[in-house]
């Protein structure tokens, strides 16, 4: 299907372990005797094995197990010494000089994460991405957006993005709802086990019928959408692709801003 594949390092799971103190023991046991360094070595071995056996992925990411620029930089250098050259990741926890450092070292793709602080303030998020793209676009460096969904995918010149929204929404009893006039992806509870605010059950009969018919026109059984998380995930993938196709026909032009770099 000519789809590109990114190999992630599994760092997201480590973020969760570090966030909750009660999981510290589990984290230590999962790392083994070598600790983080041992895991870095095993990750490098896996990448080298994959390359040798021509497993199909286009690029791979550094092990950003803590959202801390100096630590991520150190681990990236460790991996390079072990013979693998991952895409570095910037999470916004330090100033933009770290992005500039990766640019100066010749990286052609940089992964862009989002620190939890200010994550739900859309204006802050846009300013954050503006500042990064103001640097990378001038240098001809591409950006991969981690967990970038909806209109944010189309307001910036991303090289690529990843998102698990379609799976997570399905697991929590929701389907995606794309409204072209709003140019945003929304969600709706459709599971037959929930009848609270924002659910299918609270809608008027005419809107319920419209949603049922829309799902069926896409080839989905609405009753099955209400009961199966896997089926909802498939439906959500279709909706997400529809939103992407819509936006690709109407690209949003990004206007760069002047950005000061703190050295």
- List the beta bridge partners of residue 146: 162
What percentage of residues in the chain have a pLDDT greater than 90?
44
CB atoms within 10 A of CB 116: 12
Of 141 and 126, the structure prediction assigns the larger pLDDT to 141
Asked if residue 75 lies in contact with residue 52, where contact means CB atoms within 8 angstroms, the answer is no
3-state SS assignment for residue 257: coil
| HSE (side-chain half, CA atoms, 13 Å) at 193 | 9
**What would the two tokens of residue 116 be?**
């939890």
**CA separation for the pair 149, 251 (Å, rounded):** 15
Query: For the segment 66-103, what is each residue's pLDDT rounded down to a tens digit?
Result: 889 999 999 999 999 999 999 999 999 999 999 999 99
Asked if residue 233 lies in contact with residue 190, where contact means CB atoms within 8 angstroms, the answer is no
**CA separation for the pair 202, 167 (Å, rounded):** 24
Query: Which pLDDT band holds residue 152 (cuts at 50, 70, 90)?
Result: confident
CB atoms within 10 A of CB 89: 25
**CA separation for the pair 196, 239 (Å, rounded):** 23
């Amino acid at each position: 299907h000519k789809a590109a594949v990114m190999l992630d390092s599994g760092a997201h799971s480590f973020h969760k372990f570090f966030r909750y103190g009660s999981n510290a023991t589990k984290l230590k046991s999962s790392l083994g005797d070598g600790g983080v360094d041992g895991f870095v070595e095993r990750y490098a071995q896996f990448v080298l094995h994959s390359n040798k056996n021509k497993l199909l992925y286009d690029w791979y990411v550094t092990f950003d197990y803590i959202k801390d620029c100096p630590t991520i930089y150190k681990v990236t250098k460790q991996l390079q010494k072990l013979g693998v050259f991952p895409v570095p990741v910037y999470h916004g926890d330090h100033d933009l000089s770290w992005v500039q450092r990766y640019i100066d070292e010749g990286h052609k793709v940089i992964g862009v994460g989002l620190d939890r602080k200010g994550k739900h303030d859309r204006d802050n998020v846009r300013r954050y991405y503006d500042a990064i793209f103001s640097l990378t676009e001038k240098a001809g460096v591409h950006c991969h957006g981690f967990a970038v969904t909806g209109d944010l995918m189309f307001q910036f010149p991303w090289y690529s993005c990843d998102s698990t929204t379609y799976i997570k929404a399905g697991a929590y009893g929701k389907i995606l709802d794309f409204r072209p006039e709003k140019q945003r992806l929304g969600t709706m509870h459709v599971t037959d086990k929930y009848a609270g605010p924002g659910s299918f059950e609270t809608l008027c009969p005419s809107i319920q019928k419209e949603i049922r018919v829309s799902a069926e026109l896409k080839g989905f059984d609405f009753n099955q959408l209400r009961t199966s998380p896997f089926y909802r995930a498939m439906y959500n993938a279709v909706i997400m692709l529809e939103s992407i196709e819509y936006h690709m026909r109407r690209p949003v032009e990004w206007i760069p801003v002047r950005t000061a770099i703190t050295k």
